[in-house]
Amino acid sequence: MSELRLLKKIPTWVQYLMVAGVIWVLPILFSGSAYWKGILVVIAMNIMLAMSLNLILGYTGQLNLGHSAFFGVGAYTTTLLIKKAGFTFWMAALSGSFLAGAVGIFLAFFATRLKGHYLAIASMAFAIILHQILLNWDSMTSGPLGIYGIPAPTPINLFGTEIKFNNNVNYFYLVATVTMITYIILGNLLRSPIGDTLRAIREDEVSAASLGINAKLWKIFAFGIGAFIAGLAGAFYPSFVGTLVPDAFAVVESFTYLAMVIVGGMGTMFGPIIGAIVLTTLPELLRSLGDARLLVYGISLTLVVLFMPGGILQAFQTIKDKFFKSN
């Protein structure tokens, strides 16, 4: 499925400027609510997670149900390097992201031999194993008690001004900027011949092999890049919440990221962003309903899957085509 044709008519650099403007304005719009400023940070992290899973699932066709494991590797590695090894946040975050990518490549060496539900089960088992390690390795992770007192990222000096990240506004600008850079890099990557290669593997691996494409190598590549980005999102998580517990990376979280990709529009760049925004804000908007919000949330997801198999992005395109056709 292609992106919205309306967006294709807008020059790429104009789209980036528009996004940068939205990022700048959002904290101002929610200036009266510290709670929603925090939700903005969560949305930015979830967009990174959805985009990274979409690279593996939407563009390469690998059903990965263990994505929360890479998120956890990035979070715990970053935290432990800061707390136990004295690393700065920036060095720890980079190290955690690379380790998550390395773990993704290691898993892919075995997982790429599997397909369909076998791959899904294997990746889910990996996430369960990692969760159990985080729970039971008390001497390193503090187990279910968690790690507390995680500091904010080290301040940076920009044009002679020291920027601190001990507030949600600056932290949102930081995470959103990294998310936007990730989007730009992924977009350029997927518009290149590499993107065509990954899509060819997704559509028909046998035909791709007949063209000389090494499917296993490219699947490992997609897993590694996707895991790296998920680890990068994980690196920002501990400093944001200030604490780190294993349950934040339980396997059920992987299904949330999967829902974001499917609901938004799998196999597109913009779809997972929509999915991450909708599925992060919807539970918060329904919070006043109490436990009934879970019923409404579940029904909403079911309706999207049943009646919009291409996701919200496809629904937007369908409505747009019908509207202009009728006018």
Per-residue DSSP letter, 164? -
Q: Which of 108, 107, 66, 78 is nearest to 258 (CA)?
A: 66
Determine which helix (DSSP H) or strand (DSSP E) holds 163, and give its type and residue range.
strand 161-163
Q: How many Å apart are CA 67 and CA 51, to the nearest integer?
A: 11
Q: What are phi and psi of 87, to 5 degrees?
A: -70, 155
Nearest-5° Cα angle at 19, 17 to 25: 105
- What pLDDT is stored for residue 293 in this prediction? 63
Q: Which helix (H) or strand (E) holds 263?
A: helix 252-264
Q: In whole angstroms, what is the distance from residue 316 CA to residue 271 CA? A: 11
326 or 126, greater pLDDT: 126
Residues comprising the chain, all counted = 327
pLDDT surpasses 60 at 327: no
Residue 108 CA to residue 111 CA, distance in Å, equals 5
Is there a contact between 13 and 258 (Cβ–Cβ < 8 Å)? no
Q: Are 262 and 77 in contact (CB under 8 A)?
A: no
By C-alpha distance, which of 304, 259, 250 is closest to 279?
259
Q: What is the pLDDT of residues 32-80, one digit of tens each?
A: 778 889 999 999 999 999 999 999 998 998 888 999 999 999 999 999 9
Q: What is the DSSP letter of 211?
A: T
Tokens of 171: 């932290």
pLDDT at 12 > cutoff 90: no
Q: What is the pLDDT of residue 1?
A: 44
pTM for the structure as a whole: 0.91
Can you read off the two tokens belonging to residue 3? 């992106």
pLDDT grade for 282, boundaries at 50, 70 and 90 = confident
Output the pLDDT for position 325. 59
Strand 243-244 and strand 147-148: pairing?
antiparallel
- Condensed to tens digits (0 to 9), the pLDDT of residues 160-215 reads 788 889 889 999 999 999 999 999 999 999 999 999 999 999 888 888 888 888 98
Q: How many CB atoms lie within 10 A of CB 129?
A: 13
Beta-bridge partners for 226: none
**Closest-CA residue to 53 (of 258, 309, 307, 321):** 258
Mean pLDDT of 255-277: 90
Give DSSP secondary structure letters for 99-158.
HHHHHHHHHHHHHTT--HHHHHHHHHHHHHHHHHHHHH-HHHH-GGG-EE-PPPPPPEEE
Query: How does residue 321 score in pLDDT terms, banded at 50, 70 and 90?
Result: low
Cβ distance 56 to 62 under 8 Å?
yes
Residue 174 amino acid letter: L
Q: Is the pLDDT of residue 222 over 50?
A: yes
Share of the chain above pLDDT 90, in %: 45
Say if residues 97 and 232 touch (Cβ distance below 8 Å): yes
Closest by CA position to 106, among listed 129, 80, 75, 137:
129
> DSSP letters along 7-76, please?
HHTS-HHHHHHHHHHHHHHHHHHTTT-HHHHHHHHHHHHHHHHHHHHHHHHTTT----S-HHHHHHHHHH
